[in-house]
A and B are shown apart, each in its own frame.
Chain A
């Protein structure tokens, strides 16, 4: 890390002993970033900020929440009615979970489209999948805490997934419950873990960023920056772009919080949990629906559970399934078609996960599930072999400035001389 001379003497004194300012300058200011990033590259920072919003609102909600089966539901209602701004904090936290998944899913599909998972960013991608898994566990346990009907029955169904494991399944479920059914011990430990896991996520996010800054961001063209003429300093170019995106994002977020706070929730969760009565139609939160559809598509208990976890596990090995050396879908005509088919397939799975498990919905779920796995296990490996990619530009600058890299370099030099 280059020692930077700061003009403020106090900053200089501190930085000489504790180089935090040099670090920040290096990673957030001069950090060279491809100059052709589009708005899909906003979603990483949006996800980070959403995590902070969730942690802040979560900590203050915990100040008024009671993790006990007799008091949890009432304490949440008290937050809504009596605690100062409690309604606001809870609606931010509740909708924040949905917006977190919206942002992260867009972030993931950005990575899928532009091949951001390919060498040398495989670990960056895998850490992202770890974050996704942690987020799912955190969101699931958070949904249990209000102790409404959907909380209780969601907890019952999801924990029972583990009973599909041969031999030790039932013992694992008993261990998760701390009893013979979802009850007070379950609620207590879910609260403890729900409080813990966001900090684990924050830790993995730090690793994710370290891995990102090793080689820098991928870009819409998917070729490496060939020199300083292909990059701009992160600040102010991308800080301002990220802030603009953030203000648009926060406007939408605020619109949901203030005008449609329960749009993405389920009304049954405003009924207190009743262990003697399952709601007629039980569905998870929208962000789990594609995986829920895969679970129900398989007519076998263990098979369904394996397929559901496999749908995420397959992401871990994605960098080795897609062997094409070309990253961006812009230069992969066939991959581009399959990418969009896959995106549609995920939306269809999400729709089917919200429908009753009967009739045509089951058939369609099976087709969509098969397509999901075919995409990763068959189409991507075959495409890597049979697809002919379009010619790549010589540098990031060349498609903009015209001509080859030499010309782009000359243009940059000319600009330099003008100054």
Chain B
């Protein structure tokens, strides 16, 4: 900059008599100015970009509480959490047993059933197929549950078992278990 400055003004104007005695000092001012300009631009860019992140009211809805005591054995409910369906199934003893007996060696995404539940009778998973995001069938009475008595994704044919683990089809991983905890015997808080 300092060099171009003295070059471009050379012979063009009387400003030449103000040519710097010590170009290093002028270089410092130029670099410092650019640096301050960059800091200013970044300080303006951050709010402009960050406003696209979830707003406070969106984040306030990021956790919900569900009363699971009304779900009778064998019944499933679907609730909406962060804009996505969450499957809560009150599993029967047979379903729990079936999920426990599975040989982990034969699974694509090996996880024990115990590791996927807080209490064995309630399975809580995101109702989003891990393949490409469709909602699997199997929640309502009469819907196809797939070959492993869990869920079946109609989009590309993924079969999930009664622990929500992928058993057959293109999906790479098990149905995701959202973070949740029992705040009392009857209520779980998701998120």
Report A's interface with B, CB cutoff 8 A.
Answer: 29-30, 35, 56-57, 60, 63-64, 78, 81-86, 88-89, 228-229, 232-233, 235-237, 243, 411-412, 415-416, 418-419
- Distance in angstroms between the alpha carbons of A170 and B162 in the assembled complex: 68
Give CA–CA (A229, B13) in the complex, Å: 7
Residues on A with C-beta less than 8 A from B1 are 236
A236 touches B5 (CB 8 A): yes
8 additional A-B residue pairs with CB within 8 Å, beyond A29-B8, A30-B8, A418-B16: A64-B55, A82-B56, A82-B58, A83-B56, A86-B51, A236-B5, A416-B11, A419-B10
Which residues from chain A contact B57 at a C-beta distance below 8 Å? 78, 81-82
Q: Which of B31-76 contact A (CB under 8 A)?
A: 33, 46-48, 50-53, 55-58
Q: A82-B58, A233-B8 are in contact. Are A411 and B51 (CB under 8 A)?
A: no
How far is it, in angstroms, between the C-alpha of A108 and the C-alpha of B91 when the chains are bound? 76
A-B pairs with lowest CB-CB distance, top 9: A85-B47, A82-B56, A82-B55, A82-B57, A83-B55, A415-B14, A84-B50, A416-B11, A84-B51
Nearest CB of chain A from residue B36's CB, rounded to whole Å: 9
Is B15 an interface residue, CB under 8 A from the partner? yes
B13, B15, B52: the one contacting A63 at CB < 8 Å is B52
Q: What's the nearest-Cβ distance from chain B to residue A91, in Å?
A: 11
CA distance A60 to B55 in the complex (A): 13
Verify B48–A60 contact, CB threshold 8 A. yes
Question: CA–CA, A118 to B16, complex, Å?
Answer: 34
> What are 15 A-B interface contacts by the 8 Å CB criterion?
A82-B56, A82-B58, A84-B47, A84-B50, A84-B51, A84-B56, A85-B46, A86-B55, A89-B47, A89-B48, A236-B8, A243-B33, A412-B13, A412-B14, A415-B16
Is B25's beta carbon under 8 Å from chain A? no
Contacts across chains A and B counted by CB atoms under 8 Å: 68
Query: Would you call B13 and A232 a contact (CB within 8 A)?
Result: yes
For residue B2, which residue of chain A has the nearest CB?
A236
Question: For chain B, which range describes its interface: under 10, 10 to 19, 20 to 34, or 35 or more residues?
Answer: 20 to 34
Q: Quick check: B12 and A60 within 8 Å, CB to CB? A: no
Give residues of chain B (66-111) contacting chain A, Cβ–Cβ below 8 Å: none
A84 near B53 with CB under 8 A, answer: yes
B10 cross-chain contacts in A, Cβ below 8 A: 419
Q: State A85–B52 Cα separation when bound (angstroms).
A: 10
- 1/0 per residue B1-34: CB within 8 Å of A? 1000100111111111100000000000000010
Q: Does B51 contact A64, Cβ atoms closer than 8 Å? A: yes
Whether A228 contacts B12 by the Cβ 8 Å rule is: yes
Contacts of A35 in B (CB 8 A): 13
Which residues of chain B come closer than 8 Å to A84, judged between CB atoms? 47, 50-51, 53, 55-56
Q: Enumerate chain A residues within 8 angstroms of B11, measured Cβ to Cβ.
A: 415-416, 419
- Name the residue on A nearest B13 (C-beta): A232
Q: Which residue of A is nearest B40, CB measured?
A: A250
Contacts of B46 in A (CB 8 A): 85
Are B48 and A81 touching (Cβ within 8 A)? no
Query: Would A57 and B8 count as touching, CB distance under 8 A?
Result: no
Closest Cβ neighbor of B33 among chain A residues? A243
The reply to whether A56 and B48 form a contact with Cβ atoms under 8 Å apart is yes
* A81 vs B58: C-alpha distance when bound (angstroms): 12
Q: Looking across the interface, which residue of chain B has its beta carbon closest to that of A240?
A: B33
Residues of B within 8 A of A30 (CB): 8
In the bound complex, CA of A222 to CA of B7 (Å):
30
A233–B51 contact, CB under 8 A? no
Whether the pair B8, A60 counts as a contact (CB closer than 8 A) is: no
For residue B16, give the distance in angstroms from its CB to the closest CB of chain A: 6
Chain A nearest Cβ from B14, distance in angstroms? 5
A1 to chain B, nearest CB (A): 17
Structural contact, B13 and A415, CB atoms closer than 8 A: yes
Residues in B with CB closer than 8 Å to A418 are 16-17
B48: A residues at CB distance < 8 A: 56-57, 60, 89
Rounded to whole angstroms, the CA-CA distance of A173 and B72 in the bound complex is 62
Task: Evaluate contact between A83 and B12: CB separation under 8 angstroms.
Answer: no
Question: In the docked arrangement, what's the CA distance between A57 and B47, Å?
Answer: 10
Please give the distance in Å from A13's CB to the nearest CB on chain B: 21
Q: Give Cα A30–Cα B8 distance, bound, in whole angstroms.
A: 8
**Which one, B5, B13, B51, B58, contacts A85 given CB within 8 A?**
B51
Nearest B residue to A88 via CB reads: B47
A342 to B131: give the CA distance in the assembly, Å: 72
Q: Mark B121-164, 1 if CB is under 8 A from A, else 0.
A: 00000000000000000000000000000000000000000000
